Amino acid sequence: MATPDTEVLARLAAVLEARKGADPDVSYVAKLYGKGLDAILKKVGEEATETVMAAKDGEPERLVHEIADLWFHCLVLLAHQGLGPQPVLDELDRRFGLSGLEEHARRAG
């Protein structure tokens, strides 16, 4: 069950799904789908880089803006691959409370 914090992800995912049949001339998302996987991956990479630069420059407002761009393009990537945000939220939920160091040690051991 989505909480109010994650509900926007579900709403956005529904829009991204609907954009699969939209006109690329009026929809950024439809245009990006039309360009294909490599173009979507390029946007994810660019937004990740811009996130790093905003953090290094110590600009919190820009950082929030860039991370929103990054998350948005990750959602576009998930939709393109036939996935929504829920499996990612489920995976984070599964990991919740499990120390990253402990998990790493289990994998190494």
Ligand X SMILES: N=c1c2ncn([C@@H]3O[C@H](COP(=O)(O)OP(=O)(O)OP(=O)(O)O)[C@@H](O)[C@H]3O)c2ncn1[C@@H]1O[C@H](COP(=O)(O)O)[C@@H](O)[C@H]1O
Cβ within 8 Å of residue 84, ≥6 positions away: 10, 13, 17, 78
Which one of 27-35, 54-62, 79-87, 99-107 is the stretch in contact with ligand X (CB under 6 A)? 27-35
The tokens for 76 are 């576009």
Closest separation between CB of residue 22 and ligand X, Å?
6
The tokens for 57 are 């420059």
Which one of 23-31, 51-59, 78-86, 96-104 is the stretch in contact with ligand X (CB under 6 A)? 23-31
CB 19 within 8 A of CB 29: yes
Would you say 28 or 34 has its CB closer to ligand X? 28
Would you say 19 or 80 has its CB closer to ligand X? 19
